[in-house]
Amino acid sequence: MILLDRVTKIYNKKEAALERISLHVEPKEFVIVVGTSGAGKSTLLKLLTREEKPTTGKIIVGGIDYDKLKDRDIPMLRRKIGVVFQDFKLLDGKNVFDNVAFALEIVGMNSREIKHTVPKVLDIVGLADKARSYPPELSGGERQRVAIARAVVRQPKILIADEPTGNLDPKNAWDVIRVLEKINKYGTTVLLTTHNVEIVNALKRRVITIKDGHVASDEANAGYKLA
């Protein structure tokens, strides 16, 4: 599903943000990426969403070889990958329903289909009763679940969650993680980056540790190893 082969990303000539990273993520896997700030986690995710291009190396996601990807094809690539951000990236002027519908509107789905699809996804993330609420009226955890709903409403094969629990209290953080596990159960590959030791240790999933731009460890059913 995701393949990185000796990928290096250098922002300035002095230091590499990532250096010769090689990874392979199978379909339907739930993978946690951990690392300290500046270790290269965000760079890794930006390479996967093609916000950044690798300096060297090969990336293949969902059968798409990024070397052959033209700029005009990037929107189509992003439609196949759901992304959840630490700062939610919701539109405060749109209610929950419209924020989720936004992802369907841009691909040209008609209003009837949108009205049919969005409530189902809101139900999955546990926000069926908040459809008419606006983001500022919601808790952090609820906002993040709206962001997850928007990311999965197009049923992507891959969901990338960039520190989705970073701004949340433990209860809300666990609510978000439960939703991600649920989505993974439906067959979506989940790539989660987090700092939360408790969550990593409790989940017992594959954990990839990134340190100074290198893969320091990559183990199944693992715990948090940075300390």
Partner 1 sequence: MKSHPLTIFFRMIRTGGKNFLRNAWLSIAATAVMVVALTIILSAIVLNVTAHNAIKELSKDFKVSIYLKDDVTAAQRAPLEKALKANPATASVEYVSIETAKARFSDSFQSDQKLLEGLSLVGGNSLPASFEVSTTDVDKITQIGDTAKKAEFKSIVDSVTLGKTDAKKTIDRAASARRFIVNASIFSALLFAGVSVLIIFNTIRMAIFTRSNEIEIMKLIGATPNYIRGPFLVEASMYGIIAGLLANSAVYAAILSLGSKVSSQAEFSATYTFFTDPKTVLMMLGGAILAGVLVAVISSSLAMEKYLRLKKW
Residues 117-150 as b/e (b if ≥16 CB within 10 A, e otherwise) read bbeebbebbbbeebbeebbeebebbbbbbbbbbb
User: Least distance in Å: CB of 187 to partner 1?
Assistant: 16
User: Least distance in Å: CB of 95 to partner 1?
Assistant: 15
Binding partner 1 by CB under 8 A: which of 11, 38, 65, 107? 107
Binding partner 1 by CB under 8 A: which of 83, 146, 159, 200? 83
3-state secondary structure of 60: strand
User: Mask of contacts with partner 1, 155-184, x by CB under 8 A?
Assistant: x-----------------------------
Tokens of 30: 């739930």
DSSP string, 97-113: HHHHHHHHHTTT--HHH
**Stretch in the footprint of partner 1 (CB under 8 A) among 14-22, 46-54, 134-142, 184-192:** 46-54
Closest by CA position to 29, among listed 206, 175, 154: 206
Pick the closer one to partner 1 by CB: 93 or 170: 93
Binding partner 1 by CB under 8 A: which of 6, 11, 27, 91? 91
Using DSSP bridges, classify how beta strands 56-61 and 158-162 pair: parallel, antiparallel or unpaired.
Answer: unpaired
Residue 163 backbone class (left: φ over 0; alpha: ψ -120 to 50; beta: rest): left
Residue 75, interface with partner 1 (CB under 8 A)?
Answer: yes
Residues near partner 1 (CB under 8 A): 49-51, 71-72, 74-79, 83, 85, 89, 91, 102-111, 113, 150-151, 154-155
